[in-house]
With several copies, the nearest count.
Chain A
Amino acid sequence: MVSASGLHDIDLTTKIGSLTLAYPTLMGSGCYGSGEEFAPFVDLAKIGAVVLKSVTRHPRLGNPTPRLVHTPAGMLNAIGLQNPGIEWYLEHDVAKFAGRPCTIVGSVAGFSVDDYAYVCELLGQRSEIAAIELNISCPNVASEGETFACDPRLTGKVVRAAREVTDKTLIVKLSPNVTDIASIAREAQSAGADALAVINTVRGMAIDVETWRPRLGNVTGGLSGPAIRPIAVLAVYEVARAVTIPIIGQGGIETTSDALEFFLAGASAVSIGTANFTDPRVPVRIVEELRAYLAQRNLRSLSSIVGRANVGFANAQQYEGDEG
C-alpha cells in the first residue's frame, strides 16, 4: 500500500503526441467558453488542459435560440459554433493566455478541408496553444447530419491537410453517430492524428408538445451528459482496439468512478463537459480521487490501468452464450 504521504509519487502524467499533460483530466471544448469564464471557480493550472471553444475561419453567429434543452440525465445543445472567427480569436482569446501557467488546446471546426488547414496553420504558429483538436464531428451545423467524421475518406482528407500545416500535437474528435467508429478512428490515425477525442455529442431532438415545435431553434442538437456515458464507454473501448494512439475519453463523466470506466476501456485521459455546468471543480476532484484509487491498489501510475478492462466472460465458470 502506498502511504498517504506517497500519494504525490503516483504518476498521473499522460503523453498525447509530443505533449505531456500533468493531469489526465481536460475541460471539454464548448463547455468552457474562451477558457476564462471558469477561472473564478477553479484553478486552470490544476487541469490537464483546457480545450477552447471551437473556432472557424470566419465569424459565425451560431444557431437561433433556444440552444439548450434539459433531457433525462442529459441535455441537448445546438449552439452552432458561434465564434468570432480565427482572426479575432488569435488576437483576443489566444493572446490572453500568453505566459499563463495552464495548458491550452485550440479546437478547430470548418466546412471545407481548406478551412481546416487555414485555421490549423494559424493556430499552430501560436506558442500559447499546446495542441490542436480537430472538431470534425459537431452535429449542429451540417445540413443533413453529415459531418467529416461520418465518412472515413473525408476524415482522412481533413486530418492529412491539418497534419501538413502543423507540427503541434493533433487530436481528432470523433462522432458517435456512425455505423463503425473503429474504421473512422483507423483512418484518422493513418492520416497522422496523434490522439483521438472520443466522443462528441450524440444527435438528438426534443419536441414541445404544447406548441408542436422542436425545443431547439436548430431543430436537432447534440446529446451530452450521463445519459450518453454507456455509449461513450463503448466507443472508447472499440476505438482502443482499433488504434495505437492515445484516446481522450468523454461523454457523461461526472465522478471518478465514471472516469475510471473510460480509463479501463482504453482512454489515456478524459474530458469533462456537461458536468462542469453543475460543478467546475469536477476535473480537479477526479485527479485527487484517482490518486487515492491507485494508491489503494498499490499502483504507481495511471497508465497501468489504461485499457485494462478484463473482457473475459464476467463469470468464467458459467455457460457461455451461443452466438457465433
Chain B
Amino acid sequence: MSTTASPCGTFDATILDRRELAANVVLIGFDAPALVAVTRPGQYVMAVPPSGEVASTALGIYEAQGTRGSLLFFVVGKRTTELAGLRPGDGLSLTGPLGNGFDLSSNPRDVAIVAGGVGIASVLLPAQALLAAGARVRLFYGARNRELLVERERFEREGCEVILATDDGSAGHRGYITQALERAEPPELILACGPTPMLRAVASVAETLGVRAQLSLEETFACGVGGCWGCVVPLIGTSAQAPNFPPLERGGSDVVYARICKEGPVFWAHELRW
C-alpha cells in the first residue's frame, strides 16, 4: 500500500474532551499538534494506558483536525478500561501516527466504506478525504444493535450515504452489512474496517463484484512498529505489499507473512492469502 514513511514519534498528548457514545463506547479528544498534523487516513496510534502497568494498545485515529485528534474505542479489557478512565486535562502518551493507511492515490470517484462495530473508528478520515475530493461515499455500517451504531449521524452530516445493518434488526437491514453491500450498486473501490469475519466476507463480495478492496486488519499487537513480528498476516508470496523477505516455497504455494502493524494495517484483499 502507500509506502511513504510518515514522521512518527512518541507524544505526550493532553485529553481535551470525553464522551460516552453508548454503553462501553468512549470517544476521547486529545491535543497533540505534531501528531495530528501528519496523520493520514487509516493510520493508528499505540496508546499507553495510564497506570503504565499493562501493555500499550493500538487505536485508530478517528478525527484529526487542527491540533485535535480523537480516539473512539470499545471498553473490552484491562487496557481499554484504563483508557476509558481518562478525563480532560489528563496526559496520555501516544506513539504514532503508525501504519500505512488507506491508499486513495487512484482518486476514486465512487467508494463504498464498510465498517463493522469499532471499525467505524478508522474510517472517518478516509471518508472526509474522499468527500473533500468530490467522490461519492457510501458508508455500509453494521453493528450488533442500534445502540452500537455510534456516530452514524456524523457520517451523514459529513456527506456520506449511510446504509445500516444490525444483527437484531433494530436499525437498517437485519443481518450482515456485507449482505447489503452485495445487493448494492457496485462501487469503484471498497475500503473496510471491522472484525475479521466481516473482512473475509467483504473480500469475497469484492471478488464477486470484481471490485478492488482495501481491508484494515486487526490482530493483537505488542510493539506496533514492526519490531516483534507478532502481528503477521499471510500474503501471496509475490505480493507487492510483502516486506523485505525472500519468498518461501512450501507445499507448492508461495507465501510471505507481512506485519499488520508495519506493512499494514491496510492490505489489498486480493493479496491476502486467507
Contact = CB atoms under 8 A, between A and B. Distances in A.
B55 interface: yes
Interface in A272-324: 274, 276-281, 317-319, 322
A134 interface: no
Contacts of B52: 278
A60 B219 CA distance: 21
A62 B221 CA distance: 16
Contact of B48 (A66, A67, A278): A278
Interface in B216-264: 219-234, 244-246, 248, 250, 253, 255-257, 262
A122 to B, nearest CB: 16
A37 B245 contact: no
Interface in A41-79: 41, 53, 59-62, 65-70, 72-73, 75, 77, 79
B37 to A, nearest CB: 16
Given A33-B227, A319-B273, A281 B10 contact: yes
Interface stretch (A2-10, A82-90, A146-154, A177-185): A82-90
B75 interface: no
Given A37-B262, A88-B246, A66 B53 contact: no
Contacts of A65: 219, 231-233
Nearest to B274: A317
How many A residues touch the partner, as a band?
A: 35 or more
Ranked nearest first, the 7 interchain pairs of A and B with the lowest CB-CB distance are: A33-B227, A68-B230, A37-B227, A37-B226, A277-B223, A68-B220, A277-B222
A62 B10 contact: no
Interface residues of B, number: 41
B232 A69 contact: no
Given A59-B246, A65-B219, A88-B246, A279 B10 contact: yes
30 contacts: A30-B228, A37-B225, A38-B225, A40-B8, A40-B225, A41-B9, A53-B229, A59-B246, A61-B256, A61-B257, A65-B219, A67-B229, A67-B230, A68-B220, A68-B230, A75-B55, A77-B228, A79-B229, A82-B229, A226-B53, A276-B223, A276-B227, A277-B223, A277-B224, A277-B228, A280-B225, A317-B274, A318-B234, A319-B253, A319-B273
B38 interface: no
B245 A88 contact: yes
Nearest to A27: B227
Contacts of A37: 223, 225-227, 262
Given A37-B227, A84-B244, A322 B250 contact: yes
